[in-house]
Amino acid sequence: MQKAAIGFGVLACLSCAGFLAVIASPHFPVDERQKPSEFRAARESVTFSLLGQVRMSIGDLMWLKTLEYLHNGIIYRMPTEAERSQGAEAHEFTGMGAGAAHVDGPTLVPGKEQDWRGVLGTLNRHIEPWRPGHAQHSDPQELIPWYQVLVRFNPHCVQAYVNGAFFMADFAGEPERARDFLLAGADKNPWSFEIQATLGKLYFERFQDYELARDTLKSATALAQEEKAYLKRHEDAFDEIQEQLLGETYLFLARSYEELGDYDRAVDTAEAGMKAVPGYQLLRVEERIATRKRDGG
């Protein structure tokens, strides 16, 4: 009787697992550019489907935590329409590169003047961190461990690699560490032009290896075209950060050619960049500089 009960329990568990596989599989976020083995595993395994969803959710939470940590534990939000009508505005913060640019509104915990909760609001302000005025930011080096943990949960979070490498190179002064971090990201995301572009800029600025920078940035421009075509098929397009990074990719590629004495290609690259990113004015400056050098000026 006991064996029959155990057998029935196992059968019920298997049936339940099959049902969960059917309903859970579509919830696993899969990019068609991921490795075929990853895609099949996500589609065919209930365990991978469920754990994949957990992994992505934790990755998203970690991303939010990086901003919370940057803000010294204080959570900010966007102002409501009613607050906007009374003059409240969100403030753009661009002090740490395009990858870390964001907009800060009022704190989630309101100040005494804006709080209608009375004693409950006072108690809330004694428990939760908050501050009046605009956001203040902590040392960006403290965010590096967050990015390192984040990519373990979600190795396809491209922005985590880009931001983490930027902080490692610029704030921690460790370009070798940034390079290794980006190379690990490129291995997990071979389609990402953002990672290749950041890596190419790193080779140019920190290592002065202009040949390696040239080759890496050339790869980044090719990947960017593929990425644009991919997004167009899905009725999407580059955001402002990606557009800026694409402009920088062409700029540093042209400068790499310039440093190597190949002024013709430097001019051609700057002109191609102006067509790809018309609003990126530094490419026009680079085109003039490379033309002047090519013509002996």
User: Each residue of 15-44: pLDDT tens digit?
Assistant: 444 443 444 434 444 455 555 445 444 444
> Is the model's pTM score more than 0.75?
no
The structure tokens listed for 52 are 């994949």
Q: Lowest-pLDDT range, 2-6, 94-98, 226-230? A: 2-6
pLDDT band at 102 (very low <50, low <70, confident <90, very high): low
CA–CA gap between residue 84 and residue 76 (Å, rounded): 15
User: Each residue of 245-270: pLDDT tens digit?
Assistant: 999 999 999 999 999 999 999 999 99
What are the residue ranges spanned by the domains of the chain? 140-294
CA–CA gap between residue 282 and residue 14 (Å, rounded): 61
Locate tokens 């908050």: which residue?
Answer: 130
- Identify the helix (H) or strand (E) that includes residue 92: strand 91-93
The structure tokens listed for 65 are 């935590």
CATH class of 140-294: mainly alpha
CA–CA gap between residue 29 and residue 48 (Å, rounded): 11
Number of C-beta neighbours around residue 191 at 10 A = 17
